[in-house]
């Protein structure tokens, strides 16, 4: 599949090809239908001080994306064809903050599209995400 990749701590992204990943456990493979560019994606490209704090190389950028489920791991239950939005903050569910309803400040936070606990992001043809970080899109806003 074609992806945009951040591989070095320099001002760069690289357009390349990698194998389509296989979903495991509760992971879902989505075909990425939409991705947007955020100010942090520019910082990540430039690899400035903010990028050094929020990202871990290597990764596929694009933390604001949506897609369609095309394959599921053995523990995932979303039907094929389900349209989903991706939560970009990967909370652990086990730390003090998560246990007290404060997932948005999880002390073990991963982040989609920033290389934190996953290399995947939306600047790709397909992406792997744990089912718990997907939200069903129920209305077609393009009409």
Tens of pLDDT, residue by residue over 90-124, are 999 999 999 999 998 999 999 999 999 999 999 99
Give me the percent of the chain exceeding a pLDDT of 70.
Answer: 97
Which residues contact residue 48 at a Cβ distance below 8 angstroms, ignoring those fewer than 6 apart?
A: none
Tens of pLDDT, residue by residue over 53-87, are 999 999 999 999 999 999 999 999 999 999 999 99
- Which tokens in the block code for residue 74? 């053995």
Q: Quick one: DSSP state of residue 58?
A: S
Residue 104 or 18, more confident: 18
Q: Are 125 and 2 in contact (CB under 8 A)?
A: yes
Compute the C-alpha angle 98/118/31, nearest 5°: 110
DSSP helix/strand/coil, 72: strand
CB atoms within 10 A of CB 28: 26
Q: Are 62 and 15 in contact (CB under 8 A)?
A: no
2-136 CATH fold: Quinone Oxidoreductase; Chain A, domain 1 (3.90.180)
How much is the pTM?
0.90
**Confidence band (pLDDT; 50, 70, 90) for 142?**
low
Tens of pLDDT, residue by residue over 33-50, are 999 998 889 999 999 999
């Amino acid at each position: 599949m074609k992806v945009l990749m951040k591989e070095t701590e320099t001002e760069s992204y690289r357009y390349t090809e990698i194998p389509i990943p296989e979903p495991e456990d509760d992971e879902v493979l989505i075909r990425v239908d939409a991705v947007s560019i955020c100010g942090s994606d520019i910082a990540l490209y430039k690899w400035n001080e903010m990028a050094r704090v929020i990202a871990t190389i290597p990764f596929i950028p694009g933390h604001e994306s949506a897609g369609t489920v095309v394959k599921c791991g053995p523990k995932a239950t979303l039907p094929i064809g389900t349209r989903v939005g991706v939560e970009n903050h990967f909370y652990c569910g086990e730390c003090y903050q998560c246990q007290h309803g404060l997932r948005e400040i999880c002390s073990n936070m991963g982040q989609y599209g920033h290389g934190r606990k996953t290399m995947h992001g939306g600047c790709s043809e397909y992406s792997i995400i744990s089912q718990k970080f997907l939200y069903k899109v129920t209305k077609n806003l393009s009409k």
